Structure 1
Amino acid sequence: MNQLTAQAHSRVSRSDKRLIALGMWRFMLVALALLLSLGFTQVAVAQADPDREMTTAAPGITADQWRQVRSGETGPNYRDSRYDSNYSLINASGETWRQIRNRWVSPFGMIAIGGTAALITLFYLIVGRKHLEAPRTGRKLLRWSLVMRALHWTVATLFITLALTGLNLLLGKFIFRTLFGDAFWAWMIAASKVLHNYLGPIFGILLVVMLVSLIKENIPKKHDWVWFKKGGGMIGKQHVEAGFANGGEKAWYWLLASVGVLVIASGFVLDFPNFNQGRDTMQWANIIHAVGALGLTAVSLGHIYIGTLGTEGALEGMTTGYVDETWAKEHHSLWYEEVKDQTVSEEEIAARKSSSGSGEPSATRTS
């Protein structure tokens, strides 16, 4: 009996030892897995943190190394890997570009846009909307054809899209990244880059087409100077004469024809870096593009305000194509005298829409 009991205890003890050994091996495997996962986590964190990645990938640059680079004594260790490149990996002109972009262009661009928006808001609160001085007659004049309206709204939509995506590319790191976090901002910046790069050339081509189509109506005349002296009718009580386009509209046109074309040209340089332009050229193109685009965005706020909320009847011309006879008399009297015999009633416009679908006469002007 005692012998059987001893054998049973021996079997139990051997079983316990096997269980203990198996448990120890499992514990060691789990501990090893935890250590490996911790290592992979540190690698992932280092990759997610650009500053930490830089300190791991490249040691700190000393003042002697900077002096060596600036003096041209770069040597093979400081050359970059781009084909046929004469630039150093540590590029002094790149730092100059970064300082100009971040310390001057970005803040002053936001001041210009924010300041313009604030002035427009203040003007609206103090002066208010410019209403028609006389009642509407119900007689209409065709001002914009369907083709020009479609071209205008396409260009306007692209302009707003490019302005918003460009502001995100320029300032999103400082604003949206802080508000939404890295994950959401990364998606925003990636989408902004794709939209900006692919829509930019389309906008450039269509803007040139629109500028060429409207050049005849925007040639400066003597009465445009009077329009500016009287502030577009806001200074004094006398009526200000204007042709198809007034002085302010012509100023916006020629701003687009000069600064706008410069922004388009610099954008093409940035969008297509495969024509052997060097880094210096790309850096200057970036500064010119940013300054011009920020300026146009600021001025465009005034154009948008006057054409929508600021002036009664102005938006109707670009949505329906027609303006009321009273609006034409008050804002473009010289043009009204040229086309006043072409007025039509709303009933006639409705009949044209039912017959032709556009509401326009069979032969229309494009401007």
Structure 2
Amino acid sequence: MYISNAWPGFWRVAVFTLALLVGLGVAQPVLAQADPAGEAATAVPALDADTWRLVRSGETGANFRDSRAGSNYNLVNASGERWRQLRNRWVSPFGLIAIGGMIVVIALFYLVIGRKDLSEPRTGRKLLRWPLVVRAIHWTVASLFIVLALTGLNLLYGKFVFRSLFGDGFWAAMMSGTKLIHNYLGPLFGILLIVLLARVLKHNWPKKHDLAWFKKGGGMVGKTHVDAGFANGGEKVWFWLLATAGIVVIASGFVLDFPNYGQGRDTMQWANLIHAVGALGLTAVALGHIYIGTIGTEGALEGMTTGYVDETWARDHHNLWYEEVKDEAIPEEQLAAGGKPSGGGEEPTPRSG
């Protein structure tokens, strides 16, 4: 009875001993591979300060080259740091100064000088200024401009406001949507802006009387009336800003939106800076344009909403154009009843510029 009880214990010890021996035999190769001395002999040496200086200075050795997507840039791209410094130290402050300064100027102008009212009561006779197709394109472009300006400002400054207020989760989702909107609406805005500029180009060629308009500050210097054709000097400046700086912003935006036409990182970085500076500057000037075209000038908004302006407004702000088209004026009552001015009302006369 004693011998039968001892055998199970003996077999347990035997099996355990055999398993231990097998385990030690299998572990020997693994332990040999994990030998610290062996690893040190084949490992890449630590990158010291001298190595990083070589990388940063432009060393083109295979160990320092970034080969992703055919890139020829070093592991440390010094131009990226230059772009970051220009963006954060110059472009961002410029935007705050330009836009914030324009808001302050507009507020002071409104408080000190106030709205530009009509010099005489309205006559009740209307002149066609903007046909429907121009108004439709204008409001589409204006709406897209506002959306792009807000999303662009959010991309540049949003992290300093919304991230601290709502946290990383909300801010990340907001930025993802902002980038999507900005990137997809940008090309549409660019195409429609070019169409609008081409449509109103004939009204915006410089004329001699524009110099007098600028000398008198658009009528704010002195008491004499300043001559203006279909477009005054200020409106022409806004047009040519859009036709120059605006086209640059559009072109740089296309470079950023479609990074698959061979442009390298340097090109993308400069396009980003040019795009930001141009867009911020145009946004600041656009605030002045919006103010003058809405609450700053009595009757100005009517021309771009209804297409028609009162005779008094035309005489006050575009007297040379008024003299050419005054015979086409139509009573407000007739217009409300569906009447049309002579000539079909398709396009205002542009002869005076």
Structure 2, unmatched stretches of 5+, are 1-45
Residue identity matched to 1:351: A
CA distance in 2, matches of 1:270, 1:360: 48
Counterpart position of 1:208: 194
For 1:105-144, list aligned pairs within 5 A. 105-144=91-130
Deviation at 1:63, TM superposition (A): 4.3
Deviation at 1:272, TM superposition (A): 0.4
Query: Does the 8 Å contact 2:128/2:345 carry over to 1?
Result: no
Query: Does the 8 Å contact 1:243/1:333 carry over to 2?
Result: yes
Count of paired positions: 304
Query: Does the 8 Å contact 1:162/1:196 carry over to 2?
Result: yes
Percent identity, aligned pairs only, is 72
Match among 288, 308, 317 for residue 274 of structure 2: 288
Task: Specify whether residues 133 and 65 from structure 1 end up closer, same or farther in structure 2 by C-alpha distance, changes over 3 A only.
Answer: farther
Residue identity matched to 2:287: L
Task: Specify whether residues 225 and 289 from structure 1 end up closer, same or farther in structure 2 by C-alpha distance, changes over 3 A only.
Answer: same
Post-superposition Cα deviations, 1:145-178, rounded to whole Å, max 9, x if no partner, equal 1111100000000001001100111111222212
Query: Does the 8 Å contact 1:197/1:271 carry over to 2?
Result: yes
1:364 aligns with 2:350: no
Query: Does the 8 Å contact 2:56/2:74 carry over to 1?
Result: no
Say which SS state the counterpart of residue 284 (structure 1) adopts: helix
CA distance in 2, matches of 1:61, 1:132: 75
CA distance in 2, matches of 1:307, 1:61: 62
Root-mean-square deviation (Å): 1.9
Structure 1, unmatched stretches of 5+, are 1-59
The farther-off stretch of 174-183 and 187-196 is 174-183
Deviation at 1:346, TM superposition (A): 1.4
Query: Does the 8 Å contact 1:352/1:360 carry over to 2?
Result: no
Post-superposition Cα deviations, 1:24-46, rounded to whole Å, max 9, x if no partner, equal xxxxxxxxxxxxxxxxxxxxxxx
Residue identity matched to 2:327: D
1:242 aligns with 2:228: yes
Match among 184, 187, 206 for residue 220 of structure 1: 206
CA distance in 2, matches of 1:72, 1:258: 37
Task: Specify whether residues 325 and 65 from structure 1 end up closer, same or farther in structure 2 by C-alpha distance, changes over 3 A only.
Answer: farther
Say which SS state the counterpart of residue 148 (structure 1) adopts: helix
Deviation at 1:202, TM superposition (A): 0.3
Post-superposition Cα deviations, 1:332-365, rounded to whole Å, max 9, x if no partner, equal 0000001000001112112217xx9xx9974511
Match among 150, 157, 162 for residue 143 of structure 2: 157
1:297 aligns with 2:279: no
Counterpart position of 1:271: 257
Residue identity matched to 1:102: N
- Give the TM-score normalised by the residue count of structure 1: 0.79
Query: Does the 8 Å contact 1:145/1:360 carry over to 2?
Result: no
Query: Does the 8 Å contact 1:228/1:247 carry over to 2?
Result: yes
Q: Highest Rg: 1 or 2?
A: 2
1:82 aligns with 2:68: yes
- Give the TM-score normalised by the residue count of structure 2: 0.83
1:259 aligns with 2:241: no
1:173 aligns with 2:159: yes
Counterpart position of 1:11: none
Counterpart position of 1:146: 132
The farther-off stretch of 78-87 and 316-325 is 78-87
CA distance in 2, matches of 1:86, 1:185: 34
